[in-house]
Amino acid sequence: MAKMLTAHGRHLGRCVVQQTAGLGRGAAMCRLHSSPVWCSTFDVKSDDYQYIHKSKIPTMHFQKSLLRLPIPALDKTCERYLRSQKVILSSEEYQRTEKFVTQFKEGIGATLQFQLKDIDKANKHTSYICGPWFDMYLSDRVPVVLNYNPFLAFHPEERPGLSDPVIRVTNTLVSSLRFMRSLRDSVLEPVVYHLNPAKSDTPMFRKIVRWTPSAISSYAAYAQKAFPLDMSQFGNMFNSTRIPKLGKDVLRTYPKARHMLIMKNGHFYVFDVLDKDGNILSPEHIHACVSYIYNDQTPPAKRSIAIFTTENRDTWAKCRDELVEAGNEAALDVLDAAAFNIVFDEAILGDDPIKTYHTFLHGDGNNRWFDKSFSLICTADSQLALNFEHGWGDGVAVMNYFTEITKDLANRPSINSDSRPAPIDASKLVRRLEFTLTPSLEAAIDKAHQSYEANTSALKCDVLEPQFFGKKLCKKNKLSPDALMQLGLQAAYYLQNGETVPTYESCSTAAFKHGRTETVRPATLETQAFCKAITQAQLPSHSELKKLMMECSKMHGNLTKEAAMGPRF
């Protein structure tokens, strides 16, 4: 199922960047309009410009000492499986399932458990699920779009002088490069979940763990009820692409590449954003290149190879081989090596959530490169979202990037509408990639468009936005908002179809080394009891319904904790 997460960040004042006389090129200052305080000046060579922040704790400080993902006892695995089945099976079906589970547990299951433990012992550098998880993502042959790639939408940019698409893209690009440099130079703050932030998210905590040897640093954090999260996926975030291959794709990274990819009207544009020493170029320089691309009048591509990334993976692998044979290998390498992708989309979304969903989840397929680790999509009315390929990583890495650049954009955007691009000839710095297409490839593009139209037109979505309650009310009444959401899905299906449906919810296991996600099964006997209660001729009292909801919330919370701590089936 496609996933959508929307960030509702708080605006930290109206911030406008102004070029100031006497500072020279590469220096700027900004004023928060809600405050008379001026931001400090920066130089493009300074750490203040080059980094999103400078952590006192090295980025991968905890990685070596993270706990390993535990293998659950076979008895517990079977118990959890049966618990998930009881709510969706008839009595006869459940009894038959119980019999099969007993046979499995006493036979081949015990053998497989023994083999799994042996494999785990021989690979202490990783988790037992990491390899199979990558295999699962990269071996699946269905298209990544609709099936895997999710998106996250940024809050609309409403501050004066910052909402133009070129301005917003330039600022977001600079903040993203700051994040990338911070990661590469090991000054990005490690991702830590603080159970009690008031006690552990402090300078003293950072000082203690900083001087604790990395071999035991995670344990020092655990003692403070702080839980470092796995950051192994961050290495595939930038200059990374999923490459289609027959049978199983590969992830390829190009850490030495210095260029950026921008798409517009089905065309691919590349330009350098780092100098030869790996420093981020000035915002005025980047502004000039982005503006040049945005204003380029090249007609939309009649046939763009971008549509191939929406295809069945084996079909795309064959087409890529044909592209290489036709002399396009160098251009493909440049595309794949880019830091990440930015898309200028001509859609105007306004306040239409349905159009927003379709645009950011899939678009028309002609102006996306869904294989890139992630793409930032900016519409004509400056709405912005992040669409990412799921094979390389999960929510922890992406959400950390999303959160950090959102804060950076709120506090120190690099340019505004009064800023002027650098006086450079951007036409000599920006290159539009050209691809040679054979008649066979042209036919494949046309066919891919037909398949894509059929698949995307079949996707229907709508929005339900409750106006009378939300997360705060749920928490005030000690009810899990997530549990209530899952209960709503169960109740809706039960009211329509008269039966319980098995559902799937992901839960991160990033508290463990090379953890990925675990499955929460929200369909429980408790949710079923609630659904049956609301379909009775005589409805229960409010207090009875609240009790049933609380029981659902408690069970869902237990399942989530179980999943987050590693046991799976």
111-133 average pLDDT score: 94
Q: What are phi and psi of 431, to 5 degrees?
A: -120, 130
What residue spans define the domains of the chain? 4-66+138-191+229-457, 74-126, 471-564
Return the amino acid letter for 106. Answer: E
pLDDT digits (tens, 9 = 90+) for 380-417: 999 999 999 999 998 899 999 999 999 999 999 999 99
Task: Give pLDDT, residue 43.
Answer: 87
For 330, counting Cβ atoms within 10 Å of its Cβ (0-12 exposed, 13-18 middle, 19+ buried), the class is exposed
Mutual angle of helices 74-86 and 91-106, in 10-degree steps: 170
- Same fold flag, 4-66+138-191+229-457 and 471-564: yes
pLDDT digits (tens, 9 = 90+) for 2-46: 333 333 333 323 233 333 323 333 333 333 333 332 233 468 999
In 3D space, the residue among 437, 175, 408, 387 whose CA is nearest the CA of residue 280 turns out to be: 175
pLDDT digits (tens, 9 = 90+) for 211-261: 999 999 999 999 999 999 999 999 999 999 999 999 999 999 999 999 999
Percent residues over pLDDT 70 in the chain: 92
In CATH, what number does 471-564 get? 3.30.559.10
Token pair belonging to 415: 């340019």
pLDDT digits (tens, 9 = 90+) for 271-318: 999 999 999 999 999 999 999 999 999 999 999 999 999 999 999 999
Name the 3-class secondary structure at 303. Answer: coil
pLDDT digits (tens, 9 = 90+) for 362-376: 999 999 999 999 999
Alpha helices in 384-524 (DSSP H): 395-411, 439-457, 471-476, 481-497
**Mean pLDDT of all residues in the chain?**
91
**Predicted confidence (pLDDT) at residue 568 exceeds the cutoff of 80:** no
Torsion of CA 292, 293, 299, 304, to 10 degrees: 160
Q: What are phi and psi of 452, to 5 degrees?
A: -65, -40
Task: Give pLDDT, residue 151.
Answer: 96
Half-sphere exposure of 264 (CA within 13 A, CB side): 22
Beginning with the edge strand found earlier in the chain, give each strand of the sheet holding 15-18 in spatial order. 15-18, 27-32, 42-43
C-alpha to C-alpha distances, 172 to 11, 156, 200, 327, 345, nearest whole angstrom: 15, 13, 31, 34, 16
Of residues 10 and 123, more confidently modeled: 123
Task: Give pLDDT, residue 567.
Answer: 56
Q: How far apart are CA 569 and CA 131, in angstroms?
A: 16
CA dihedral over 116, 63, 144, 489, signed as positive or negative: positive
Pairing between β-strand 151-153 and β-strand 384-388 as defined by DSSP bridges: antiparallel
487-509 average pLDDT score: 94
For domain 4-66+138-191+229-457, the CATH class is: alpha beta
Confidence of residue 466 (pLDDT cuts 50, 70, 90): confident
**Predicted confidence (pLDDT) at residue 193 exceeds the cutoff of 80:** yes
Task: Give pLDDT, residue 30.
Answer: 37
Q: What are phi and psi of 28, to 5 degrees?
A: -155, 165
Q: How far apart are CA 72 and CA 278, in angstroms?
A: 45
Task: Give pLDDT, residue 20.
Answer: 31
Confidence of residue 566 (pLDDT cuts 50, 70, 90): low
- Residue 4 CB contacts under 8 Å (≥ 6 apart), including other chains: 150, 151, 152, 153, 357, 360, 361
Q: End-to-end alpha-carbon separation of the chain, Å?
A: 21
342-368 average pLDDT score: 96
486-507 average pLDDT score: 94
Name the 3-class secondary structure at 242. Answer: strand
pLDDT digits (tens, 9 = 90+) for 156-188: 999 999 999 999 999 999 999 999 999 999 999
Mutual angle of helices 165-184 and 395-411, in 10-degree steps: 120
In 3D space, the residue among 501, 505, 535 whose CA is nearest the CA of residue 517 turns out to be: 505
Buried b / exposed e across 396-417, counting CB within 10 Å, b at 16+? bbbbbbbebbbebbbebbbbbe
Name the 3-class secondary structure at 143. Answer: coil
Q: How far is CA 343 from the centre of its chain?
A: 17
Residues annotated as part of the active site: 390
Q: What is the pTM of this model?
A: 0.89
For 284, counting Cβ atoms within 10 Å of its Cβ (0-12 exposed, 13-18 middle, 19+ buried), the class is buried
Task: Give pLDDT, residue 464.
Answer: 85
